[in-house]
Chain A
């Protein structure tokens, strides 16, 4: 315990000495550390930027389904239409997915024959007929209100969720939820209740809205039959291909007269996109070169300074500083300095990468949600700066530790 206390005191004292030394030589330290700060800021920005861009890209891609997403279509061999979603298909899907114990499933039916009308303004809308699991399966984030629940099927006014495009185009911004709009199907208007809004997923002069299958069936299916129906399941990536194959076979057995096609359909099915990783690697490579140059200048300054501090080392040795302590103290000066420079670099990086307008400008897009600054990039930036400090500190520390006391005092 005594030895431990001595070690702790020694460590605290070495840190203190290092800090005092840096305080005394502020200007020298500042000038020698500019390179390290710039390099750490670049390195962290490159990694954090790439990480955030990757996350944003992932979030965008997952709007079409989070991996692994198995899509199932059932085609009626007796008709020449698109994939069907009648009761027998729905029951077969439900039965088969229960047999395979799938937690997340949804039907997705689409209708392109409807318009949303409010205060005399009409907008073409794509209606998605989905089940409550749809939202977590497609990373659907609500901007206001809430998502659909099973109980909404009992609502006497059809409950819908609309995207921001509908809100914007119909001039409904600031309207208190819930409110009603008309949904017109082939000339027949039904008043629907908007219970929530989500970020925009549609482009141009159209919008998207979501409602439950039972709601659609009750109010709209007669006048606007669904154009296509598919069924989706969100399952673990591992073994998803085999699961899709077996699922298709089992559902096929439940549906005589239909052709069932079940396959994986998500952005990761052909493997991960490595382009961002490569860009990050190139930028990081450049940052590492800057870091090496910065380290060399730091080493150069430290070596020159150490030659001028030989006498001081001798004086400290006369006070009882051991060789190990001198080595550690000098190395800590470098480590503390680069840690401060690295911290500054990381802060600069955070300020740059977390600046929403700057990021929108660089990525040429408008972000719905600002992803947080990746902690691993900040930690890596700090780790790299401390490592650079330790590496560049070794040489001057060796010079200091090898000083002959008698010669040093005489200098």
Chain B
């Protein structure tokens, strides 16, 4: 089981029908394998389908064709409920705009994913969330509201929230997009070390090559196709 990839995309395409009835092809023939402990960066300009790819990897969206294997299982065969449970249990998301729940403290935000857990995780949610916030250096800001936190602190809350259920894969969509360069670097280092510590795979989507450089594997998404960064010819 240990050698089995967590995620495997084979010839995945994604297209949408536009109002004028034409078809927009966002992803074309994507192949990607993600295993435990991987740190993958996918770079690309805006509108190249990075977020669409991340949504498919996060079981939030389904490919138009091709296959996505989630821990060896065809994701197309997962029911909506199974996909939701897989997201809650094994996937963590970090968004560009942090997406913290408004009106809730940092602690309540980190506790939020544990509301969908069962058993011990649910009943110990306060303790687990406190520990997660302490790990990202926010042990002193448990009761702070998101609007009172700086951008970097908000993203650290989001990281704690993504990691609190000990996911197997963390998906980060432009995690430094709303931060200045130095804060962004600090956040990425934190995300990298936290996932290394937990053994989770980290997939970062970014348009910042400096952020991508932190990853051990780098890909470029161009015209809906995924290329290893070494193959990419910069125009």
Complex formed: what's the CA distance from A20 to B81 in Å?
24
A405: which B residues are within 8 A, CB to CB?
A: 55, 60-61
Is B88 close to A, CB under 8 A?
Answer: yes
Contact A17 B99 (CB under 8 A): no
Tell whether, in the assembled complex, residue A317 and residue B122 are in contact, meaning their CB atoms are under 8 Å apart: no
Bitwise, A118-147 to B at CB < 8 A (1) or not (0) is 000000000000000000000000000000
Q: Which residues of B contact A311 (CB under 8 A)?
A: 99
Indicate whether A409 reaches chain B with its CB closer than 8 angstroms.
Answer: yes
When the two chains form their complex, are residues A322 and B104 in contact, meaning their CB atoms are under 8 A apart? no
Q: Judge whether A322 and B84 touch: CB under 8 Å.
A: yes
The answer to whether B115 and A409 touch across the interface, beta carbons within 8 angstroms, is no
Report B-chain residues with C-beta under 8 Å of the C-beta of A16: 115
Does B22 count as interface, using CB distance less than 8 angstroms? no
- Minimum distance in angstroms from A233 CB to a CB of chain B: 65
Q: Is there an interface contact between B81 and A409, defined as CB atoms closer than 8 Å?
A: no
Q: Is B140 an interface residue (CB 8 A)?
A: no
The CB with the most chain A CB atoms within 10 A, among B60, B85, B108, B123, is that of: B60
Task: For A323, list chain B residues within 8 Å (CB).
Answer: 80-81, 84
Q: A322-B80, A322-B81, A405-B60 are in contact. Are A9 and B118 (CB under 8 A)?
A: yes
Given A312-B101, A317-B84, A323-B80, do A13 and B61 touch, yes or no (CB 8 Å)? no
Cβ–Cβ < 8 Å partners of B55 in chain A: 405-406
Please classify the interface of chain B as helix (H, G, I), strand (E, B), loop, or mixed, using the class held by over half of its residues.
Answer: helix
Query: Which B residues lie within 8 Å of A325 (CB)?
Result: 84, 116
Option from B88, B99, B118 in Cβ contact (under 8 Å) with A6: B118
Docked complex: A295-343 residues within 8 A CB-CB of B: 311-312, 315-325
CB distance from B28 to the nearest CB of A (A): 19
Point out which of B99, B115, B118 has the most chain A C-beta atoms below 10 A from its C-beta: B115
Contact between chains at B113 and A24 (CB < 8 Å): no
User: Which B residues lie within 8 Å of A410 (CB)?
Assistant: 51
Contact of A409 with B84 in the complex, beta carbons under 8 Å: no
Question: Is B44 in contact with chain A by the CB < 8 A criterion?
Answer: no
> How many residues of A sit at the interface, in one of the four size bands?
20 to 34
CB-based contact A318/B103 at 8 Å = no
Cβ of B99 and Cβ of A409 under 8 Å apart? yes
B108 A320 Cβ-Cβ under 8 A: no
Given contacts A9-B122, A325-B116, contact A318 B87 (CB under 8 A): yes
Kindly report which residue of chain B lies nearest to residue A312, judged by CB atoms.
Answer: B101
| Best-buried of B55, B61, B88, B93 by chain A (most CB within 10 Å) | B88
Give the CA-CA distance A317 to B87 in the complex, in Å. Answer: 8
Q: What A residues does B224 contact at CB under 8 A? A: none
A312-B101, A406-B61 known; A319-B119 Cβ under 8 A = no
Q: Is B40 interfacial (CB 8 A cutoff)?
A: no
B104-135 interface bits toward A, Cβ cutoff 8 Å, 1 = contact, 0 = none:
10001000110110110011000000000000
Contacts of B87 in A (CB 8 A): 317-320
Say whether A24 contacts B104, CB under 8 Å: yes
User: Shortest CB–CB separation between residue B86 and chain A, in angstroms?
Assistant: 8
Q: Which of A5, A13, A25 contacts B116 (CB 8 A)?
A: A13
Within 8 Å by CB of A318, from B51, B60, B104, B123, lies: B60
Cα separation A317 to B85 with both chains bound (whole Å):
10
Considering the complex, which residues of chain A in the window 152-203 have a beta carbon less than 8 Å from any beta carbon of chain B? none
Instruction: Tell me, rounded to whole Å, the shortest Cβ–Cβ distance linking B62 to chain A.
Output: 10
| CB pair A24 B103 closer than 8 Å | yes
**A317–B88 CA distance with the chains assembled, in angstroms:** 9
A20 surroundings in chain B (CB, below 8 A): 104, 108
Q: What residues on B are CB-neighbors of A317 within 8 Å? A: 60, 84, 87
**Is B225's beta carbon under 8 Å from chain A?**
no
A257 contacts B by Cβ under 8 Å: no
B102 within 8 A of A: yes
Is B113 a contact of A319 with CB atoms below 8 Å? Answer: yes
Indicate if A10 sits at the interface (CB-CB under 8 A).
yes
Query: Who on chain B is nearest to A14 by CB?
Result: B115
Whole-angstrom distance between the alpha carbons of A10 and B95 in the complex?
26
22 pairs, A vs B, C-beta closer than 8 Å: A5-B119, A6-B118, A9-B122, A12-B122, A13-B115, A312-B101, A312-B102, A315-B99, A316-B116, A318-B60, A319-B113, A320-B89, A320-B116, A321-B84, A321-B116, A322-B85, A323-B84, A325-B116, A405-B55, A406-B60, A409-B60, A409-B95
Interface residues of B (CB under 8 A from A): 51, 55, 58, 60-61, 80-81, 84-89, 93, 95, 99, 101-104, 108, 112-113, 115-116, 118-119, 122-123
Beyond contacts A20-B104, A321-B116, A323-B81: 5 other A-B pairs, Cβ-Cβ < 8 A, are A24-B104, A315-B101, A316-B116, A317-B87, A320-B89
